[in-house]
Structure 1
Amino acid sequence: MRAIAASSAHSAPSPARQSRKRVPMARAPHVAEDDEMNTRNFDLIALGVGMAAVNAANKCASAGWSVAVVDELPYGGTCALRGCDPKKMLRRGAEIIDAARLMHGKGIEPNDIAINWPDLVAFTQTFTDKMPGRIENGLKSNGVTTLHGKARFVGEDTVEIDGLGQFQANHFLIATGAKPRTIEVPGSEHLTDSTEFMRLDALPERILFIGGGFISFEFGHIAARAGSKVCIIDRGERPLKGFDADLVERLVARGEEVGVQLRRRTSLKAIEKDGTGFLVTVETDNKTRGLRADLVVHGAGRVPAIDRLDLAAAHVEAGDKGVEVNAYLQSTSNPKIYAAGDAADTQGAPLTPVAVFEGKVAASNMLKGNRTKPDYAGVPSAVFTVPELTRVGMLEEEAREAGHDIRVVENDTGDWYSNLRVGESCAATKVIIDNESDTILGAHLLGPEYGEIINFFGLAVRLGLTTSELKKMVSVYPSVGSDLGSMV
């Protein structure tokens, strides 16, 4: 079951298959509100046009403020254009391949099923190509001025946009998102990032992912189902550190079954071009060795994309985690400026839903004064491997360290009907419960469609529901949701 650029899954790999040529990504057109740009003073200018900025801009505009947004990239941000949404569309191909394999011998013959990678990439672009225009038109219809170009501060209340000049505002929202972390090793220019990966016109035979986080595991699982040989190197002993360790190990074992190899305690030292591929030098337990790959993908984390804003000119303090803000998302050093999403140093995880509600909270505080603090309780997250790994609330060790008297309900759900039905035996759950209050402190799930079930646990954590209350829910049967009561 290989990715194919022709009709046969059994064809020998062609040179095109190993190509790093990328399918072009549509860019939003350059738009100025008017040729004269007479209006250069606004109540709010949002820097970056991802989900945090869009929500804040629309909220402030609907309240009667004059609002402008600016981005040097097509409107939509990482999630809609370069992350969550297109990634999960690519994952659909992997789901189909995996589902067919799991049902082999159970009535399905999977031998003729394969991923046509160019067609799958084109499918993602049916979504991403339309988004910048839709978002821009939506902003315009709400009275927001849309600007395009690189912006940087030239004063406490002024930015300069390349090609357009200077603009002043009473408030700014910094919502420029994140970018891949810089990896300083010889040959780092040969790294492919996740954005480029999703635009490749073909997948090569051998792919090496750097780092043991979301990007490496999610794209590694997709690539393996598409026929590539996948290796992930991770500096530590434990990948996906934010998730339950026991479930991570189950996922690692499941990945190995389909060709996702993990090398622990392994650091990247150098990348050297070697013919049509690369020779990658790595170090494991103080010993160096070379690994050969046709593509080396950066999955070693992301950092706030704020370095080009010249924050010092606006007296804005920032660190490695982003713009330093108070509990109301206001800059600690310049009261005119707020920050939200991946560009802000907050308690929130780098997730799109967090950026959305932080954008709304920042807008509310700019409009009404600092009254609202973001609520991060019960925000779930997921690694969209196949199957998916999810989490909400505390890990077991975090609950114990916080002094809770807990009970841990663990289930191997691989033989439960909802998983038996689809042939998946790799499924398990771990729920952390406070003995005194009977409330959910944390839930950790690995299995098909558990990305939906974790939302119920997120609601339980957010509202303080007890396990008794959760068990009262009457679900459609048979459905994955009907397993919820048995998980606690």
Structure 2
Amino acid sequence: MKAKKFDVFVIGSGSAGQTVAKTCIQAGKKVAIADNREFGGTCANRGCDPKKILLGATEAFEFNQNLRGKGIARDTKIDWKQLQKFKSNYTDSVPPSTEKSLKEMGLKLYHQSPKFVDEQTLSVEGKLVRAAQIVIATGQIPRTLSISGEKHLKVSDDFLNLKKLPKSIVFLGAGYIGMEFAHMAARAGAKVTVMDMGKRPLKHFDADLVKELTKYSEALGIKFIFGAEPTSLKKKRKRYKLSYEEKGSKKELTAHAIFNTAGRVPALAELDLEKGNVAYNEVGVETNSFLQSTSNPRVYACGDVSDKDVPLTPLSGRQGYVVSENILNGNKKELVVPVIPSVVFTLPNLATVGYSEEEARNRYKNIRVNFSITPDWFNAKRINAPLYAHKIILNDRTGEIVGAHLLGPEAAETINIFTMAINSKMTDKDIKSTIFSYPSWANDVKSMV
């Protein structure tokens, strides 16, 4: 079979893949792009964006609940069915609009996951394609839980598309996804349990702030089971029975739906990377500083599937830009990653940027830690927010801000102020001398440092 030839073949149509494909075709290259799911990638179709749309109604509900009897006269509830229809107004248009845009630019589109045949040849849709450069940008997929009855587990895609919210839900994993969905489901009326093998939720976030968020989550009705390992899942008539081990004891619980929220792994299994001589590990495709495969120089990897990535959409786009530059101009552009904020969209939001307290103590001789729980500050009191806290870490010698950890209604926005401050090496004096709008959440950063 004769292979169709391309200059660049991109696998994956998310932020990273689209950046490479569009940049290369604009430079005059012959480019193809393939995806085994809807074009547009995880974030727009089944990740960040639809999640934030569902969150919008949850935020309105939370605002109403906090001000009930303080200017808000009536109680409210979340209509899950209407909310899903509203979300679909956005997500349904993403794949066709993405495909239309790519076709109009002149790209060849394939609707299947390719497999490597050799170092520069792929098999896709029953055809062979050969490319001078192949770009892997397949993102991540849910981590597999190898337990009996695993086929009955639902994943994040299923939650985001639930037409009807189950009366009771168990989330297996207390990371970003599990905690965010737990908060949405609990406020929408479901009985929620979060189970994790660890000792607490959100292990990569500040322990003091997570402790406060956990207590508040429990007050919402969310039940936590820590130090527990799921062992099997059985389908009953209307419910599922989950068996697990906790502290050496075998236990069971039942729920109308069980979700696997135990994290995500690079989507590489379908590519036959061994045939393409593409080295990889549990983190992703092994790449050098140019995001080029360490074992096959014809291959680049970018986005969540690269071993140089933090799974965040803004960084995926930046990686796509780096790969594009190196394909077009030779390996001249290395990946430079600034300090990047990370947010858990629970309510309240939990946000972090820079060093943790432990990391800062290991790096600097003396640090200053400003940790306070401040629901009595004006911005929290004016909306009757029950939880508002911060931990700001500074180099005590210079006053430079080196880490910020926020828990509050607008933490996802306020953390960006600290991100700019850390990347610009600003000090507490720099922040305090800045005039922000008042009264605003951003203005509170002056009191935090």
1:68 correspondence with 2:29? no
Aligned 8 A contact 1:160 1:167 in 2: yes
1:384 correspondence with 2:345? yes
1:130 correspondence with 2:93? yes
TM-score by length of 2: 0.97
Q: Which runs of 5+ in 2 are unaligned?
A: none
Deviations 1:108-156 (A, max 9, x none): 1343x11111111111111111111222222233332222222111111
- Structure 1 residue 104, shift from structure 2 partner: 1.6
- Rounded to whole Å, the distance in 2 between the matches of 1:110 and 1:382 is 31
- Structure 1 residue 39, shift from structure 2 partner: 9.2
More moved, 356-365 vs 459-468: 459-468
| 2:203 alignment partner in structure 1 | 241
Aligned 8 A contact 1:377 1:393 in 2: no
AA paired with 1:40? K
Which residues in structure 2 correspond to 1:353-364 (within 5 Å)? 353-364=314-325
AA paired with 1:115? I
Aligned 8 A contact 1:101 1:110 in 2: no
Q: Which runs of 5+ in 1 are unaligned?
A: 1-37
- Structure 1 residue 376, shift from structure 2 partner: 2.2
Q: Mark the CA change 1:308 to 1:90 in structure 2 (over 3 Å): closer, same or farther.
A: same
- Rounded to whole Å, the distance in 1 between the matches of 2:221 and 2:305 is 35
- Rounded to whole Å, the distance in 1 between the matches of 2:434 and 2:252 is 55
Deviations 1:363-389 (A, max 9, x none): 112222222222222211100001110
- Structure 1 residue 306, shift from structure 2 partner: 0.6
Deviations 1:41-69 (A, max 9, x none): 22211101011001111122222222111
Aligned 8 A contact 1:154 1:313 in 2: yes
Which residues in structure 2 correspond to 1:319-468 (within 5 Å)? 319-346=281-308, 348-468=309-429
Aligned 8 A contact 2:110 2:125 in 1: no
Q: Mark the CA change 1:403 to 1:125 in structure 2 (over 3 Å): closer, same or farther.
A: same
Aligned 8 A contact 2:11 2:113 in 1: no
Aligned 8 A contact 1:100 1:109 in 2: no
Q: Mark the CA change 1:57 to 1:473 in structure 2 (over 3 Å): closer, same or farther.
A: farther
Which residues in structure 2 correspond to 1:68-467 (within 5 Å)? 68-111=32-75, 113-163=76-126, 165-346=127-308, 348-467=309-428
TM-score by length of 1: 0.89
More moved, 356-365 vs 175-184: 356-365
- Rounded to whole Å, the distance in 2 between the matches of 1:125 and 1:197 is 13
Aligned with 2:10 (options 46, 60, 63): 46
AA paired with 1:397? E
Aligned length: 449
Aligned with 1:59 (options 19, 23, 26): 23
- Rounded to whole Å, the distance in 2 between the matches of 1:125 and 1:223 is 18
- Rounded to whole Å, the distance in 2 between the matches of 1:162 and 1:140 is 18
- Rounded to whole Å, the distance in 2 between the matches of 1:229 and 1:484 is 36
Q: CA RMSD in A?
A: 1.6
Deviations 1:78-97 (A, max 9, x none): 11111100011111121111
- Structure 1 residue 201, shift from structure 2 partner: 1.0
